[in-house]
Amino acid sequence: MKSQKWTYWATTAALVCLSVSPAQAAAEAVAATTAAKSAVQTPLYKDASAPIERRVEDLLARMTLEEKVAQLQTIWSEKKEIFDAKSELDPAKLTARYPNGIGQIARPSDRVGEGSPRQVPGRDVAATIRLVNDLQRHAMTKTRLGIPILFHEEGLHGYAAIGATSFPQSIAMASTWDPDLIRETNVVIGREIRARGVTLALTPVVDVARDARWGRFEETFGEDPYLVGEMGVAAVEGLQGTGKARTLAPGKVFATLKHLTGHGQPESGTNVGPASISERALREYFFPPFEQVINRTGISAVMPSYNEIDGRPSHANTWLLGDVLRGEWKFNGVAVSDYGAIDDLKNLHGLAATFDDAAILAMKAGVDSDLPSGTNYANLIKLVREKRISEAQVDVAVRRMLDLKFRAGMFENPYADAKSAIALTNNAEARALALKVAQRSITLLKNDGTLPLAMPKAGGTKPSIAVIGPSAAVARLGGYYGQPPVTISILDGIKAKVGSRANILFAQGVKITEGDDWWEDKVTLADPAENRKRIAEAVAIARNADQIVLTLGDTEQTSREAWAKSHMGDRDSLDLVGEQQELFDALKALGKPVTVVLINGRPPTITKIAGEANAILEGWYLGEQGGNAVADVLFGDINPGGKLPVTFPRSVGQLPHTYNHKPSARRGYLFTEATPLYPFGYGLSYSKFEIAAPTLSSAKIAKDGSVTVSVAVKNVSGRAGDETVQVYIRDKISSVTRSVIDLKAFKRVTLAAGEEKTLSFTLGREAFQMWNDKMQRVVEPGDFDIMVGPNSVDLKTVTLTVSE
């Protein structure tokens, strides 16, 4: 009332001074009073024009402790507790179960939470949006403060949902060595997720993978920190937009950088195993991709890893999440837990006696949100009242979660539109892009001239092509897969390519596992006796063939995330599973040309096959259009240009076997070679290229200076193709040991027949810096080898001197 009297008096006095009419004065006084009432009635946090920081603080000040804690919790499998018999939202159940609101809901596209979508089909576009909108409408209109719900989904290589586009797995995308293409791909992934009302995607993975026994190898961009960093930056820019903008534009989602860190080299190659990694190794190999993404993008969410480092699990590691992440790197977004990782502080690591203790450890370390079920952070209300943790500490996490929601524009428009979402999901543009990425992912590892296969002429003699193998007639998508409307197997792709101009013969050859559902816990190997019958059938069919295309590798069960003792996915061998080697041997004995197509999640040990096959293509998991892409490469419509983002070892005994090892490593073994089967960065083409020796803009630079490396690359064949020019450095003498070689730049370039281009790369302080014996980042003066070539082995060198 006091403010209204003051408004009326001030308005009247001003009007008298301006000599306005009494009627006008009365009208404007009423308007001023109405505005004052509106200001009182509309909280600042609902004012879209107010600064986000002020909106967050205004809302936080209004919240009870119970409402605060609700914002830090997530529900996943508990969704079924708020559904009716048709798995639709029951508002009464929601109100009774969550009277203080819900902070976050996991995977609205699934139906009841954890479980295989093959067993319990998820929600299509319209059903997902109906659920999201119903939940948001309830949150906005039926809870005291009207705080919208944050939804998250998986989007590693496509939105993991019914109807969405499925792109090649991350390890395949890394084989493109094309950050622009990865950015373009993640634009599509992000918009398909956002179209369903979801604003947080749990991707990308920027773990540096240094042990191929690890089942999550396929989820990564490979073994090199620079390559992983460039791909990670591109992925985040595609999902969120370029630059460091703090607000989320239409069609964009917040990305989640994961898993911080050391996850890619677990002890014995087993998932969640200790990362026995020194601080120096962390800073040299594992930190750089995270730091690059944080420095160059607006990344707003980070997920810690399951593993421990030096006795401290990442979810309780104040040095990692506090000193490094928020201190050194100045990250100011949210830290969300990996699924069940706070529980693991008690159940697995033995760091906490109770879930209360686990919640305190994670909260103090800086974990803001408890995924996927929030059971630990539900205890925060009790813990605050018991004074075991302060409400101020809870406020820090709540502030970050609210900030994310405001920056997503959720308070203004949390709803999705089914019609527009259906129109853009898996549309023609997305399918064409999925094909392009698959084509550019395929890596040619060997070719004696067998490829490309000649396209049969219409009306001519029909050749016979035997398409054989466990992945010939099924499109394998890899872990965290979605359910695209249509998938193309290699058999489908070849048939579509040649039509009636060739006789296409098919045999399964062997079965790897009895099932291939990534979600299923139990993995049963196929019966060897039955497989040998299948091999005999395949041989009988192949006798009549002119060419054999043989698929070998994995299923989604033989290379996958081992998320529990009941759900294994790591292996102590990299040999082909089951009777696949026997199948190859039997077919090779026929004397027919054999082209092997690898469909797999990790680099296999295939030394015998590498020596005897006529041609080998590495495909990894190629997504929904994989079969068309393989056919395009086999018949020469696409010239393969992929490069390996990992080293192929000769045996599991070589692990870890990365190209950027220390000088004292790789001395050798008795009775076998120490060299890799295929080196990092390797890949052939149907074209032939010549890369000249590099030249430098200056033979000497200062420590803070830069140098331009120029290199000419020429296509010396009669066919257009792609070559990826790679730039490596080696510090000849340093105060602490350094890698023998480190990737610092690369460029994939398309050259017409006979065409030559000169590429230029600028290397600055960042390329030459190191961590010295005082763990300071410095550039030490001295000589550096600058090496350029098509892979990490076949290199030409020039020397650069860095002075004081």
Residues serving a catalytic function are: 338
Q: Which residues pair with 722 in a beta bridge?
A: 750
The token duo for 465 is 């092509």
Q: Are strands 150-153 and 308-309 parallel, antiparallel or unpaired?
A: unpaired
Residue pair 532/516 in contact by the 8 Å Cβ criterion: no
CA distance 151 to 500: 49
Q: How far are the Cα atoms of 44, 57, 132 from residue 145, in angstroms, in the given order?
A: 12, 14, 19
The token duo for 305 is 């890893």
Closest CA to 505 of 470, 476, 543: 543
Classified as helix, coil or strand, 331 is: coil
Classified as helix, coil or strand, 32 is: helix
Query: Which residues lie closer than 8 Å to 144 by C-beta, 6 or more apart?
Result: 67, 101
Q: At residue 82, what is the residue type? A: I
Residue 683, φ and ψ in degrees, nearest 5: 175, 135
CA distance 631 to 642: 16
Q: Which residues pair with 786 in a beta bridge?
A: 729, 798
CA distance 408 to 401: 11
CA distance 129 to 28: 45
- Asked if residue 259 has a cis previous peptide bond (ω within 30° of 0), the answer is yes
Q: Which residues pair with 85 in a beta bridge?
A: none
CA distance 180 to 201: 20
Compute and round to an integer the Cα radius of gyration of the chain. 29
Residue pair 539/499 in contact by the 8 Å Cβ criterion: no
